[in-house]
Amino acid sequence: MTDHLKTDVVDGVMTLTISRPEKKNALTGAMYDVMSEGLERSERDPAVKVVLFQGDGDSFTSGNDLADFAAQSTANETTDSPAFRFIGNLAKATKPLVAAVQGNAVGVGTTMLLHCDLVYLAENARLITPFVNLALVPEAASSWLLPSRIGHVRAYAMFALGEPMDAATALQCGLANAVVPIGDVRARAATAALTLTQRPTGALRHTKLLMREQQEMVERIAEESALFKERLQSAEAREAFSAFTEKRKPDFTKV
Ligand code: COA
């Protein structure tokens, strides 16, 4: 249970609202679990036809809670984390996923968009995947999906240099359907989601499955996750997480 993730089902649309604005919507284990429960329910409940992701406040999400990463980096044993459960559910989703994104979409905030079928960005949206800065590796099959969508060098600059991508560029690269004023982004995504609820469910399901190489994604996620868990416990990653907590630049020359 968490107050930071709200689930609503209205007119066939399940809306999952990330709501921890004071921490830029950083995602804790409990929040991932609520999103997983939503996605798992959407698969078995015919009343849910579409899932819509959105975030309260000025950011879509700042990604995984870095305090949680710091705790996992010193834990004696690594368990399968709620983040990996969520990522697995994204990859296996057969119902349409829609996103309304304003402000920063960091880490999984960007990689989850690669699993969404319709993406609407506010003009101030910024997609950021700072995995290497955190001494980690890309997740959610993004090591394959992002270069295949935007080309190797642009994806590499996002992963390795942590270069943000602005909304206009994301639209141009085909990562989004539209860029709209911030006040309109939720309504635009909600309208698209509602339109999808009126389409034949069977045709939607088969179309999505034909368009996504699900088995390959699951395999890539397994490969990434094994490396990710290993990296999470590296001295480099511990330095990156300490630096964030201490509000300083990491110094990887020491580790
Ligand atoms: N995990 C935990 N706390 C986070 C967080 C995260 N991912 N992102 C932001 N916060 C917290 C900050 O520590 C700060 O908390 P405080 O007020 O108690 O000091 C608060 O949210 C506001 O963040 P701040 O950095 O002041 O906001 P900003 O607008 O200047 O910058 C970001 C926003 C998202 C660019 C910046 O917070 C950031 O880079 N966060 C880390 C993102 C990240 O690396 N995520 C992991 C991806 S794998």
Rounded-to-integer distance, Cα 117 and Cα 199, Å: 14
Question: Which atom of ligand 1 sits closest to the CA of residue 128?
Answer: 47
Rounded-to-integer distance, Cα 94 and Cα 87, Å: 14
Q: CA of 124: how far to CAs of 30, 60, 143, 183, 200, in Å?
A: 28, 11, 25, 11, 34
Rounded-to-integer distance, Cα 195 and Cα 136, Å: 39
Phi, psi values for residue 16, rounded to 5°: -105, 110
Question: Which atom of ligand 1 sits closest to the CA of residue 58?
Answer: 29
Tokens (6 digits) for 76: 């004696």
Question: Which atom of ligand 1 sits closest to the CA of residue 245?
Answer: 13
Q: What pLDDT was estimated at residue 254?
A: 84
Q: What pLDDT was estimated at residue 156?
A: 98
Compute the distance from residue 62 Cα to the ligand 1 centre, in Å: 6
Q: Which residues contact 115 (CB under 8 A, 6 or more apart)?
A: 90, 91, 93, 97, 140
Cite the beta strand spans of the chain per DSSP E: 5-10, 13-18, 50-55, 97-101, 104-106, 118-122, 126-128, 165-166, 178-180
3-class DSSP assignment, residue 252: helix
Rounded to the nearest 10°, the torsion over CA 188, 194, 198, 200 is: 90
Compute the distance from residue 254 Cα to the ligand 1 centre, in Å: 24
Fold of 5-181: 2-enoyl-CoA Hydratase; Chain A, domain 1 (3.90.226)
Q: What pLDDT was estimated at residue 75?
A: 86
Q: What pLDDT was estimated at residue 76?
A: 74
Residue with tokens 């709200």: 6
For the chain, residues with pLDDT lower than 70 are: 77-79
Residue ranges lining ligand 1, Cβ < 6 Å? 23-24, 26, 62-67, 104, 106-107, 130, 134
Rounded-to-integer distance, Cα 195 and Cα 52, Å: 12
Ranges of each domain in the chain:
5-181
Q: What pLDDT was estimated at residue 1?
A: 73
